[in-house]
């Protein structure tokens, strides 16, 4: 799953365009590491913390 799809799926952005803007402005990180590539694939192999903006956090759990 791409980072843009993930952000829109968890309703942290109303559209893919808004998700893209958030990434390009540096407002998205996973486990404290900023995401700058809008096409980055996210692999759910371990628990991760997705942060969008200052106040939106979600724990991503690995899928079985």
Render each residue's pLDDT in the chain as its tens digit; 64 residues. Answer: 899 999 999 999 999 999 999 999 999 999 999 999 999 998 888 999 999 999 999 999 987 6
Quote the domain boundaries for residue 52.
3-60
Number of domains in the chain: 1
CATH of the domain at 16: 3.10.290.10
Q: What's the pLDDT at 64?
A: 61
Cα dihedral 5, 63, 41, 34 sign: positive
Q: From CA 27, how far away is CA 51, in angstroms rounded? A: 8
pTM given for the model: 0.86
């Amino acid at each position: 799953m791409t980072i843009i799809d993930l952000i829109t799926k968890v309703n942290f952005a109303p559209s893919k365009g808004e998700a893209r803007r958030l990434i390009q402005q540096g407002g998205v990180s996973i486990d404290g590491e900023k995401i700058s590539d809008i096409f980055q694939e996210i692999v759910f192999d371990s628990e991760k913390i997705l942060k969008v903006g200052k106040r939106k956090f979600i724990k991503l759990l690995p899928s079985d």
